Chains A and B, each alone.
Chain A
Amino acid sequence: MSAAAELPEAQALVDHGILSWLAATDHKRIGILYISTVFAYFVIAGALALTIRLQLLHAGMTLVGPQAFDQVFTLHGTAMVFLVIAPFGFGLANYLIPLQIGAPDMALPRLNAFSFWLFLFGGLTVFLGAATNGGAGDAGWTAYAPLSTIRVGDGLGQDLWIVGLLMISISTIMTAVNFTTTVLVYRAPGMTMWRMPIFTWEMVATSLLVLVAFPPLTAVLAMLLIDRRLGGHFFDPAMGGSAILYQHLWWFFGHPEVYVMILPFFGIITEVVATFSRKPVFGYTGLVLAAFAIAGLSMTVWAHHMFTTGAVVDPFFSGMSFLIAVPTGVKFFNWIGTMWRGRIRLATPMLFALGFLFNFLLGGVTGVMVASPPIDFQARDSYFLVAHFHYALGGGSLFATFAAIYFWFPKMFGYRLRERLGAWHFWLLLVGFNLTFFPQFLLGMMGMMRRVYTYPAIPAWSQLNALSSLGAAIQFVAVAIFVANLIVSTRKRIPAGDDPWGGYTLEWTTSSPPPELNFERLPPIRSERPAYDLRHAAAEARS
């Protein structure tokens, strides 16, 4: 009467051909499609990052000229934001949400598949710009008007950037609709919302943000397109338009977007920390409420990106930005509380989770710093800011991404990744990452601006830049080790079993990988730790 039935191994994913992936509507397959695509974009965006660090190794290098450099950092930023970090969260959620709530699939499986393919095409469209005469979009990932409304040559690259993002925006909104509907309607009997895993809760908050914040992105992109192609004047002050309007609309989307890029990862960290501390989640209610407090507040802080325009009331946005640190702090204390007096196992997912805690703390604290207008006036558009958001998104979300991969890979594919290589991956990434970005705080304070293709030959700047580039090289090695881990682990597979880690949530009660409709038989759900409860009921029954 085991809840995790024995199933022929070939069931879930393996026995169909390549073409079957085109027709996939199973959320697990779509999740894997997302994650694989994300990884490909990650490699490309990473290569672009390495290009940047190579160009900035010394002052006056001529590896990449200014126009090309603009395209490089634009594509790097655009890809990392829209094609890597955010969609990894959605891809993982696609895989996990139905499993975690005990549902057979997402509410609208075909819409789910549609979202994925549109996302894929959107990314390709953005990169297609690189193949055009004028090159890819080059106005930064933020594409401020009027820079982005100026058409150089046929300007196709920037246009393709815009329409690519339009596709991604639509795709993401559809995904959020699907997630929300699924969670509201398809939970298994007994799975009340207050028993759902924290990861699922974070995805609900994320979906809410997407629903209200992405449509203004669609609107502002359409306005940009109209200005560029139809002679519109939205952002043209001479004819009644306003460049500040662009920034308002962009950042009303843009700030929630960065929370879309962190909330799912908070969920990942919660699951990993609890499992490897061998304790229940500390402060479950607090974590849920904090997630929504963060989501809500994130919609009120957008103009902290506009302090220096003189067109917004700085104190309001500064105050709200300080405020948002509070629920974030609550989460930190809850994670620490979870680990407190726990029996900690330093498996690879936990290593990355701990790395996240350290890195994101730095990212968050420096965020509070730049929330203060006087500091922001100095730090804005300098490398200080670059370091701040890389600590949050790279040191934070990227580390959580790897935590998630090491944690859930066995569930998805039925075999484990190597712990030894995982540890090497982690330590090298931690060192490399910090070596890359910590010097950038200093560079920013010394006055080095962002989005510059070279800098004056000041000795301190050169040294710090060199350190930063060295860090990037180390990160490259770390990721190469990760790839090696994937290869080695796949060649000689170590079976994972249903529950290699002693997890708490429903996905650990079914086989690895799960069968087509996820559960042969659902266990009773009486708490937020149904897998744990099941194990202990079985243990008691035996004794």
Chain B
Amino acid sequence: MTVRSSRDLALRAHPLLLAVLLFLASELMFFAGMLTAYYNLRLQTAVWPPRDVHLDLVGSSIGTGLLALSSAAMLLTTHSLARARFLVARCALATAILLGIGFLGITLHGWMDDTFRINSHAYGSIFFMLTGFHAMHVLAGVLLMVLWFAALRTPAFERDERAGGEAIGLYWHFVFGVWILIWGTIYLIR
């Protein structure tokens, strides 16, 4: 038994979305802890990255590009749904999912290629922790998007269901945003 809502509140003020946003802010702080560790260790180490580390800038840039496009596809998804353009939304969501899977593929490939491990040195530990946790977040996002795709058989007009979709969108953009911070740290600033 639930008490259902029929109040005409704008979607963005829906409590689910607000809650997800607050959660995302806390996740940002989770990555902040890891990024802080990266910079702290970096400043204390003479050779950083260590000599056995070869960073694949090209591969990671491609991955970044895929994730960026995926985010754009997600924007298109939520945008179209708000305008009840259902077919476009479904195609955009499928694209977002595939691009996300592509990113995961590149990440995995990069890991297998690497000449160092999580237990090689402090750099290895923070590298794999940062990219590993991020990849877990990407995986979770892909799973959520797949579930949403499956549920999108009919256009979602119920406010609560639409809020759920918007929440997934927010999450996905967050995943991309955090990746920029991580990628910038590991591959650009080094």
Which A positions have Cβ atoms within 8 angstroms of B? Answer: 104, 107-108, 111, 173-174, 176-178, 180-182, 184-186, 211-216, 218-220, 222-223, 226-227, 230-234, 236, 239-242, 245, 248-249, 252, 517
Q: How far is the CA of A213 from the CA of B32 in the complex (A)?
A: 11
Residue numbers in A under 8 Å from B37 (CB-CB) = 219, 223, 234, 245, 249
28 A-B pairs with C-beta separation under 8 A = A107-B19, A108-B16, A108-B19, A111-B19, A178-B19, A180-B18, A181-B15, A211-B26, A212-B26, A216-B36, A219-B33, A219-B37, A223-B129, A226-B118, A232-B118, A232-B124, A232-B125, A233-B119, A233-B121, A233-B122, A233-B124, A234-B37, A241-B122, A242-B44, A242-B122, A248-B36, A248-B40, A249-B37
A178 (CB) vs chain B CBs: closest residue: B19
A221 (CB) vs chain B CBs: closest residue: B33
Contact call A216/B19, Cβ cutoff below 8 A: no
Partner of B30, one of A182, A215, A240: A215
The interface centre, meaning the residue of B19, B23, B121 with most chain A CB atoms within 10 A of its CB, is B19
Contact call A218/B118, Cβ cutoff below 8 A: no
How far in angstroms is the closest Cβ of chain A from B160? Answer: 12
Give B113-132 as 1s and 0s: 1 = Cβ < 8 Å from A's Cβ atoms.
00000110111111001000
Partner of B129, one of A186, A216, A222: A222
Not counting A211-B26, A234-B41, A240-B41, a sample of 5 additional A-B residue pairs whose C-beta atoms are within 8 angstroms of each other reads A177-B22, A240-B123, A242-B122, A245-B37, A245-B41
Give B39-54 as 1s and 0s: 1 = Cβ < 8 Å from A's Cβ atoms.
0110011000010000
How far in angstroms is the closest Cβ of chain B from A240? Answer: 3
Contact call A240/B50, Cβ cutoff below 8 A: yes
Contact call A239/B122, Cβ cutoff below 8 A: yes
- Decide yes or no: A181 and B44 within 8 Å by CB, A234-B122, A239-B121 being known contacts: no
The interface centre, meaning the residue of B16, B29, B31, B121 with most chain A CB atoms within 10 A of its CB, is B29
Contact call A242/B40, Cβ cutoff below 8 A: yes
Partner of B119, one of A223, A232, A249, A252: A232
Residue numbers in A under 8 Å from B34 (CB-CB) = 219, 223
Residue numbers in B under 8 Å from A232 (CB-CB) = 118-119, 124-125, 129
Q: Which 6 A-B pairs have the closest CB atoms?
A: A219-B33, A231-B119, A240-B122, A215-B29, A215-B30, A216-B33
Chain A CB within 8 A of B189 CB = no
Chain A CB within 8 A of B13 CB = yes
How far in angstroms is the closest Cβ of chain A from B126? Answer: 7
How far in angstroms is the closest Cβ of chain B from A378? Answer: 29
Give B140-159 as 1s and 0s: 1 = Cβ < 8 Å from A's Cβ atoms.
00000000000000000000
Partner of B41, one of A186, A213, A242: A242
Residue numbers in A under 8 Å from B40 (CB-CB) = 242, 245, 248
Residue numbers in A under 8 Å from B45 (CB-CB) = 240
Chain A CB within 8 A of B11 CB = no
